[in-house]
Amino acid sequence: MLIHQRTLQKEVILSGTGLHTGKECMITFKPAPVNYGYRFVRTDIENSPEIPALIENVIDVLRGTTIGLNAVKVHTTEHVLGALYGLQIDNCRIELSGPEPPVMDGSSHPFAKALLDAGFKEQEEPKNYLVIDETIEYHDAENSVDIVALPLDDFRITVMVDYKNPALGSQHSGLFNLETEFFKDFSPCRTFCFLSEVEALANQGIIKGGDIDNAIVIIDKNMQKEELDSLGKKLGIESEHLVLGENGILNNRELRFKNEPARHKLLDLLGDIALLGMPIKAQVLAARPGHASNVEFVKQLKKYADRNKLARQYQHEKKAGVIFDINAILNILPHRYPFLLIDKIVEFKLDEKIVSIKNVTMNEPFFQGHFPGNPIMPGVLILEAMAQTGGIMMLNGNDKIKESVVYFMGIDKARFRKPVLPGDTLVIEATMTNMRRSVCQFDAKAYVRGELVCEASLMATVVQKNK
What would the pLDDT profile of 273-285 be if each residue is shown by its tens digit? 999 999 999 999 9
Q: Which residues are within 8 A (CB) of 331 and not within 5 positions of it... i.e. 6 or more apart?
A: 314
> How many angstroms separate the most distant Cα atoms in the chain?
95
Which of 84, 43, 20 has the alpha carbon at shortest distance from 275? Answer: 84
Other CB atoms within 10 Å distance of the CB of residue 82: 28
Other CB atoms within 10 Å distance of the CB of residue 83: 29
- Name the catalytic one among 139, 172, 335, 370: 370
Please confirm, yes or no, whether 291 is among the known catalytic residues: yes
pLDDT in tens, 106-133: 999 999 999 999 999 999 999 999 999 8
d(CA 399, CA 252): 57
Roughly how many angstroms between the first and final C-alpha of the chain, as a whole number?
48
Q: 36: helix, coil or strand? A: coil
Query: DSSP secondary-structure letter at 210?
Result: -
pLDDT in tens, 182-194: 999 999 999 988 8
- Name the catalytic one among 79, 291, 316, 335: 291
What's the pLDDT at 241?
64
Phi, psi of 156, deg, nearest 5: -140, 150
Same topology for domains 4-187+262-304 and 315-464, yes or no? no
Pick the CATH number of 315-464 from 3.90.800.10, 3.20.20.370, 3.10.129.10, 3.30.590.10: 3.10.129.10
What's the pLDDT at 279?
97
Which of 255, 278, 119, 266 has the alpha carbon at shortest distance from 187? Answer: 266
Instruction: Give percent of the chain above pLDDT 90.
Output: 69
pLDDT in tens, 290-327: 999 999 999 999 999 988 888 878 887 878 889 999 99
Domain boundaries, the chain: 4-187+262-304, 192-255, 315-464
4-187+262-304 fold = Ribosomal Protein S5; domain 2 (3.30.230)
Query: DSSP secondary-structure letter at 275?
Result: G
Kindly list the strands in the beta sheet with 38-42, ordered across the sheet, starting from the edge strand earlier in the chain: 12-17, 24-31, 92-96, 38-42, 50-52
d(CA 396, CA 91): 28
Return the beta strands (E) in 9-48 as ranges.
12-17, 24-31, 38-42
